[in-house]
Amino acid sequence: MRSFWGSIHRHLKSKFYPHDSNHSPSFQQTQQTLNAKLKELKNAGHSNMQHSADALTEEEIHTLYESNQLGQTTAESLLNTLRWNNCRHFGLRAVTDHHQMKWGDITLGKDSSGKEYLSYNKRSTKTRTGDHVTNIRAVRPTVWATPEDPTRCPVASFKL
């Protein structure tokens, strides 16, 4: 709606209209109506803000494994699983962060009891660009092995 109003404003200005359609008292009623309509649309959920995606339910994740979209059965399902685990456990964005990854960003380790885990060393992000040396994560993102379900174990998928 704002873009339509901007187009009207530019048109009037190009025709040397004597009043400013954005600030003139002549257009006060129009501005109030526009603002009320924008507020109404925003309250109804129609804004220009991007809506976040809904999280997948456990049932939907199970369906992805059952249909071999995720898992270790094919090369494609393994890649999908690795990307899914990276997004879910390490907070990587789907495309950008995966393309910027380097060898060694994800490391395999063992704790004192011998349980394996993956740890992600994020070099830089949109908010942590490296400009401030003290702006580092207090804890590295880590995901633990789930040997009780090897087909869904992030460590087992990583090791393949």
Helix H, strand E, coil C: the string for 38-101 is HHHHHHCCCCCCCCCCCCCCHHHHHHHHHCCCCCCCCHHHHHHHHHHHHHHHHCCCCCHHHHHC
CA nearest neighbour of 107 among 55, 136, 142, 137: 142
Question: What's residue 15's pLDDT?
Answer: 87
Which of 22-31, 51-60, 86-95, 139-148 has the highest mean predicted lDDT (pLDDT)?
139-148
Length in residues, the chain: 160
Residue 42 — very low, low, confident or very high, per pLDDT cuts 50/70/90? confident
pTM above 0.85? no
For residue 52, the one-letter residue type is: S
pLDDT at 64 over 90: yes
pLDDT confidence bin for 110, thresholds 50/70/90: very high
The predicted model gives 123-139 an average pLDDT of 61
